[in-house]
Amino acid sequence: MKIFNYFISLFCLVLMMNTTAMAETKAYIYAFDNDYPPYAFMEKGKPTGFDIDVMKAIFKDKDVSIEYKPMQWGDVQEALMQGRVHATSGMAKKEERKKIYDFSQSPLCDLKISIFTTPRSHIRNLQDLKDKKVATQRGSLYQKLLEQRGFKPDLYETESEALVALFREKADAFVGTEKTALYNIRKYNLKGVFPISTPLEVSSTYFVVKKGDNDLLARIDEGMQRIKRDGTFDRIYRQWFVEELSAEEVRNMLSRAREAAFYAYAPYTNSIVGAAVLTSSGKIYTGCNIENAIVGYTATATKVAVFKAISEGESHFKAVVSIYPGDRIGAPAPDERQIIAEFDRGTLVVIDDGRGNYRHVMISELLPFFFQWDQ
pLDDT band at 374 (very low <50, low <70, confident <90, very high): low
User: ∠116-120-126 over CA atoms, to 5°?
Assistant: 40
Residue type, 175: V
* DSSP output for 304-349: HHHHHHHHTT---EEEEEEEETTTEEEPPPHHHHHHHHHH-TT-EE
pLDDT band at 24 (very low <50, low <70, confident <90, very high): low
Asked if residue 123 belongs to a domain, the reply is yes
Please indicate, yes or no, whether residues 267 and 344 belong to a single structural domain of this protein: yes
Identify the three-state secondary structure at position 105: coil
Q: Are 63 and 21 in contact (CB under 8 A)?
A: yes
Query: Mean pLDDT, to the nearest integer, of 66-74?
Result: 93
pLDDT band at 23 (very low <50, low <70, confident <90, very high): very low
The enclosing domain of 27 has a CATH number of 3.40.190.10
Range of the domain at 285: 247-366
- How far, in Å, CA of 94 to CA of 97, rounded? 5
Asked if residue 7 belongs to a domain, the reply is yes
Number of structural domains (the chain) is 3
Residue 147 clears pLDDT 70, i.e. is over it: yes
pLDDT reported for residue 20: 45
The pairing of beta strand 154-156 with beta strand 134-137? parallel
Residue type, 48: T
User: Is the bond into 38 cis (omega within 30 degrees of 0)?
Assistant: yes
Beta bridge mates, 177: 113
Please indicate, yes or no, whether residues 85 and 118 belong to a single structural domain of this protein: no
Q: CA nearest 109: which of 211, 178, 198, 41?
A: 178
pLDDT reported for residue 9: 52
Asked if residue 374 belongs to a domain, the reply is no
pLDDT tens string 180-209 = 999 999 889 999 999 987 899 898 999 999
Please indicate, yes or no, whether residues 251 and 352 belong to a single structural domain of this protein: yes
The enclosing domain of 253 has a CATH number of 3.40.140.10
| Total residue count of the chain as it appears in this document | 375
pLDDT band at 25 (very low <50, low <70, confident <90, very high): confident
Please indicate, yes or no, whether residues 211 and 199 belong to a single structural domain of this protein: no
Please indicate, yes or no, whether residues 253 and 331 belong to a single structural domain of this protein: yes
Look at phi and psi of residue 241 and say left if phi exceeds 0, alpha if psi is from -120 to 50, else beta. alpha
Please indicate, yes or no, whether residues 129 and 173 belong to a single structural domain of this protein: yes
CA R_g for the chain? 25
Half-sphere exposure of 353 (CA within 13 A, CB side): 7
Range among 2-11, 111-120, 318-327 with highest mean pLDDT value? 318-327
